[in-house]
Structures are given as C-alpha cells and as structure tokens.
Structure 1
Amino acid sequence: MISPAENDEHRQLLGACAQGDRRAFERLYHSVGPRLHGVALRCVTRRALAEEVVQESFVRIWHNAARYDETLSAPLTWMINITRHLAIDLLRKRQEEPLAEQQLETLMDDAPSAFDQLNGDRDTAALNRCLETLEGMQRQSILTAYFHGLSNAELAEHLAAPLGSIKSWIRRGMERLRRCLES
C-alpha cells in the first residue's frame, strides 16, 4: 500500500514536473519506475516490451503532468493507468502471437483512458462515494487489485487471506459498486 507521505511526495513531484523541473522528474522516475515496470510486465510479459511501455509512460507523464488532478485519483493511480493503457495498446498493435485465455482476461478493458478519466470528475466523485459504502475487505481488495494490478492469487497472498474469500469480496464489492453507481 502507498503511504500518505508517498502520495504527497508523488503529488509534489508531479507538480514540479508540470513546471519543467527535470530533477523532480528524475526523483519521480526512481520512486515509481519499478512499480510501473511491474504493471507493464504483468500486461506484456516480456521484459523488453515492458521497458518500452515504461519509457513511453514516463514521456506521457512528463508531457501531461500539468493535467494531473488530485481530486480525481491518487498520483500513482494516474501513472499506473497511463502505463496499463499503453501496455494494452502495444499488445493490440503487435498482435504477434495468440494470447492465452488468461492473458485475454487481463486485457479485457472497456475503461476509458487515463486522459478520459481526468475529464470525468463527476463519475469519479460518484465512484468515490460508492467505494465508501463498501465493507472494509471488499474495498481493500478492490482498491489493492486495481491500484497495484494484482491478480486474485497475488492479492490473496498480499492480504494473507484465502483465494475464495478474495474472489467473493471482489465479486460482491463490484456488484455493490454497480448497484450504487446505477442509482
């Protein structure tokens, strides 16, 4: 989990990047680069492609740091979304080899891009309101899986909980979110 201090540091570094501060960008790269690489590697499964995705992600982060809006998402969430969408785009463009069913499931993504999400503050406020209605483990499971890109098995290990419980918490939590957002 990201500590409030790390969130504050990332927020400040993004603000400095928006002002063209290259030192802040270097610090941001060293701080979040490994996490973004992990997200990219989970999506593309090849180190060289993951490195390509991370490089392009940081180019986008640098050029769009001024567009980051802290009221819509945590800084790391914003950067993970950029990385994840770039990884998915790269895989779609390359289509080198057929993907296994499990890989296809991880790529299924009808979510808007990170940039579209920045413009959806009303939806984000509704989602935040609905997330607050979830029970502790449902909320923690969904947020951890989404923010850190963990699979159910990885999440079970991370939370030291049975895999069946993780699946239940996510399924029930997502259903509650859906109902809440539809109302």
Structure 2
Amino acid sequence: MAELTDIEGYISRVALGDRQAFASLYDETSAKLFGVALRVLNDRAEAEECTQEVYIRIWKAAGRYQQNGLSPMTWLITIARNRAIDRLRARKSGSSGLDEAGEIPDAGPGPEALAIASSERGRIMMCMSELPDERAEAIRRVYLDGETYNELATHFDVPLNTMRTWLRRGLQKLKECLTR
C-alpha cells in the first residue's frame, strides 16, 4: 500500500501527464474508489463504469489538486462519491427511458416479484418505524442515499463514534424485528 505522500506524488505527476504515475495511482487507489461507488450505487456493473469515469476526471483534474496536509484520499474519494451520487440521481430521474443502445429497457420484475418486494418493503418499513426517528433517518441516509458516517455525524450534531453506535444498534434492532 502506498503512503499518502506517494499518492500525492502520483497526483502531482498525473497533472503533468505522466501515464506511469496514473497507472500507479490507479493500482493503489482503484479498489477503494470502486468500493465507494459500489456502496452508493449498489450495482457492480454501474460501479465499474462509474470508477472508470472517476479516473477520467482525476486525469483531467489532477492539476487542481492542492497539497494541504490533508489526505489525498479524501480528494479522490470525494470525486468518486460525487460521481456515484450524480449517476444515482440520473438513474432516479429516469433520464430518457431508453438504455445506452437506444432500446427500451426490460420492464422489470413480474407481478409475483413485485408482490413479494412490496410485502418485504412493508415489513422493513414497519420495523423502521419502531426505531427512534433520527436513527431511522440516519440508516436511510447512509444505506440508501450513500452519505458517509462523517456527514451524518455533522448533520445530527453527534460525535462520529456515536453515529457508528446508532447505526450498529439500529441495524441490530432491524434484524431482530425482521426475524420475528
């Protein structure tokens, strides 16, 4: 694993058009950035495409990176997270109704699958309603909206470890409720 100073060096060299530095940066950071995209998008193929787009952006934006004593991974993760959220929003808005090949996409699950999903969704919603409002909201925001623990802690004005505890205990209560 590369040191943070190595990653900063790669970014600086990428800004100068160094393809070898770009390859090294990719080797050292792609697994983490793919993980960020996958967590937000919850779709492996889309996360792979997103990660490719992220590295194109990194190639183009490397000259704007400023070494400021903070982790360069924060900068890279922010690019990945923002791109994944952009894709998620585009997916939710349903852009054109056509897939990339210009064909009408598959209509989706059949009536039986929809009925099962609706029943499961109802059970989950019932269990979520048993949680305190702010904890249920935190779980929705982290697992459905892709927010980070730090963002949630800031939003709810609680320490980071408290947020982690809220999420862990909330998920335990959901699991208990769903197994009743």
* Counterpart for residue 37 of structure 1: 34
Question: d(CA) in 2 for partners of 1:59 and 1:104?
Answer: 30
The total of aligned residue pairs comes to 115
Question: d(CA) in 1 for partners of 2:146 and 2:7?
Answer: 29
User: Which of 3, 21, 24 is the equivalent residue of 2:21?
Assistant: 24
* Counterpart for residue 90 of structure 2: 93
* Counterpart for residue 152 of structure 1: 164
Q: Superposition pairs for residues 91-170 of structure 1, below 5 Å?
A: 91-95=88-92, 104-106=140-142, 107=145, 141=161, 152=164, 163=168
Question: d(CA) in 2 for partners of 1:34 and 1:81?
Answer: 15
* Counterpart for residue 53 of structure 1: 50
Gaps (5+ residues) in structure 1?
Answer: 110-137, 143-150, 157-162, 165-183
CA gap of 1:43–1:102, structure 2 versus 1, over 3 A, is farther
Give the alignment's TM-score, normalised by structure 2: 0.55
Give the alignment's TM-score, normalised by structure 1: 0.54
Percent sequence identity over aligned pairs: 37
Report the Cα offset of residue 152 of structure 1: 3.3
Report the Cα offset of residue 20 of structure 1: 0.4
Question: d(CA) in 1 for partners of 2:57 and 2:66?
Answer: 15
Question: d(CA) in 1 for partners of 2:90 and 2:141?
Answer: 17
RMSD of the TM alignment (CA)? 3.3
CA gap of 1:44–1:108, structure 2 versus 1, over 3 A, is closer
Question: d(CA) in 1 for partners of 2:65 and 2:35?
Answer: 22
* Contact 2:40-2:146 within 8 A present in 1 as well: no
Report the Cα offset of residue 52 of structure 1: 1.0
